[in-house]
C-alpha cells in the first residue's frame, strides 16, 4: 500500500474576519438609520355632508373662530389675538351653563374653525395649537382633580383616559369652505 502523503490544510473556513465584516455593515446601517418620529396635530375631517341637514346647534354652544386672509383671528366675529384663544376656549367649554352666552356643557361645546383661501398656514397652525392646548389643559385639570395624576401619565386605551376624554370631548369642526 502506498501511503499517500498529503499536507492537509485545516478544513474550516477562517472565521476571524467575520467580526470585521459585521462591523463594517453595522457602521453602514448606523450611519444610514434615521429614527425620526412623526409629530403633529391630529384632526378628524367631517365627512362630506349628505342631503340630510346637520342637526341644529344652538348659538351659545358654537364658538366660531375665523382666521382671515390677513392672518387675523376673529372669535364670534370680534377680533382677538392668537394668545387669547386658549383662555376664551377654556371659559367657553368649561362653562357648564353658568354664562348664558357660553356653552351649556363641555359635551355640547363645538369649536368651529373657518379659514379663508389666503389665510397663512402658520397662523392657522398657531391657532389650532392654542385650541389643542386649551383642551389639553382642561383634561389635565380634570385628571388631576379626579385621579390626582397628570393626564399625560394615563395609559392609552385605559378606562381612566376614556373617562376624561368623555368629559371633555374634542369637538372641533372644520367649516365648509366657501364656494369659489
Partner 1 sequence: MAHFKKKQAATSQGVPTAAMPDVVFMLLIFFMVTTVLREVELQVQVNYAGAENIEKIEQKRLVSYIYIGPERLSGNRVGETKVQIDDALVDDMGSIRNIMYDKLMEEPRLIVSLRVDEDSEFGIITDVQQELRHAGTLRINYSTRREI
Choose the binding region for partner 1 from 2-10, 97-105, 115-123, 141-149 (rule: CB under 8 A). Answer: 115-123
155 sits near partner 1 (criterion: CB under 8 A): no
How far apart CA 115 and CA 151 sit, in angstroms, is 31
**Looking only at residues 5 through 44 of this chain, which bind partner 1 when binding is defined by CB under 8 A?**
15, 18-19, 22-23, 25-26, 29-30, 32-35, 37-44
How far apart CA 89 and CA 109 sit, in angstroms, is 9
Least distance from partner 1 to the Cβ atom of residue 34, Å: 8
Strand pairing category for 73-75 and 78-80: antiparallel
Site string for partner 1, 117-136 (x = CB under 8 A): xxxxxx-xxx-xx--xx--x
Cβ proximity to partner 1, 7 vs 34, nearer residue? 34
Q: What is the largest distance, in Å, between two alpha-carbon atoms of the chain? A: 116
Q: What burial letters (b/e) apply to 4-36, b meaning 16+ CB within 10 Å?
A: eeeeeeeeeeeeeeeeeeeeeeeeeeeeeeeee
Using CB under 8 A, list all residues that contact partner 1.
15, 18-19, 22-23, 25-26, 29-30, 32-35, 37-48, 67, 115-122, 124-126, 128-129, 132-133, 136, 174, 177
Amino acid at each position: 500500500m502506498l501511503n499517500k502523503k498529503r499536507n492537509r490544510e485545516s478544513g474550516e473556513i477562517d472565521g476571524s474576519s467575520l467580526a470585521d465584516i459585521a462591523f463594517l455593515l453595522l457602521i453602514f446601517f448606523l450611519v444610514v438609520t434615521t429614527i425620526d418620529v412623526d409629530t403633529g396635530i391630529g384632526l378628524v375631517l367631517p365627512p362630506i355632508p349628505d342631503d340630510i341637514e346637520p342637526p341644529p346647534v344652538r348659538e351659545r354652544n358654537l364658538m366660531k373662530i375665523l382666521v382671515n386672509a390677513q392672518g387675523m383671528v376673529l372669535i364670534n366675529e370680534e377680533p382677538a389675538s392668537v394668545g387669547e384663544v386658549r383662555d376664551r376656549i377654556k371659559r367657553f367649554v368649561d362653562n357648564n351653563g353658568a354664562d348664558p352666552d357660553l356653552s351649556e356643557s363641555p359635551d355640547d361645546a363645538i369649536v368651529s374653525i373657518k379659514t379663508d383661501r389666503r389665510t397663512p398656514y402658520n397662523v392657522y397652525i398657531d391657532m389650532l395649537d392654542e385650541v389643542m392646548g386649551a383642551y389639553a389643559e382642561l383634561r389635565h385639570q380634570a385628571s388631576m382633580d379626579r385621579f390626582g395624576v397628570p393626564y399625560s401619565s394615563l395609559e392609552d386605551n385605559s378606562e381612566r383616559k376614556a373617562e376624561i376624554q368623555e368629559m371633555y370631548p374634542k369637538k372641533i369642526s372644520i367649516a365648509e369652505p366657501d364656494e369659489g
